[in-house]
Structure 1
């Protein structure tokens, strides 16, 4: 995951990202997807959650939140 960016940010292309990030360069482009968020999207969810994942079927982010009623871990 690439974190929040601010200031004078130049958007990159899919090909540039594959060149710039070694972990991507090791993969075949057809085997991964991309979920691009605008600055600040889900900011509070990322701050409050204990983890997250992307549902590959819906392409939606699923956040895991602490559940103080059950040992502090839950969804």
Structure 2
């Protein structure tokens, strides 16, 4: 039988400065990507969106995948 290896989750105070900076940068980029997607969705007429805008509003809230999916599949292109 093999032992299952589990990683201990670090608390904020246990993280190194570099790891804290990385968490802040990744979180900021993720939030900015979602904010830009929501802004684009709000400004775009409904007839230029593939599907209901309400659905895309919820999809964008899904980390990383949602905003990227909106930019790739949610907007109609001429």
TM-score range, shorter chain: under 0.3
After TM superposition, the score normalised by the length of structure 2 is 0.26
Structure having the higher Rg: 2
TM-score by length of 1: 0.27
Q: Give the structure with the larger helix fraction.
A: 2
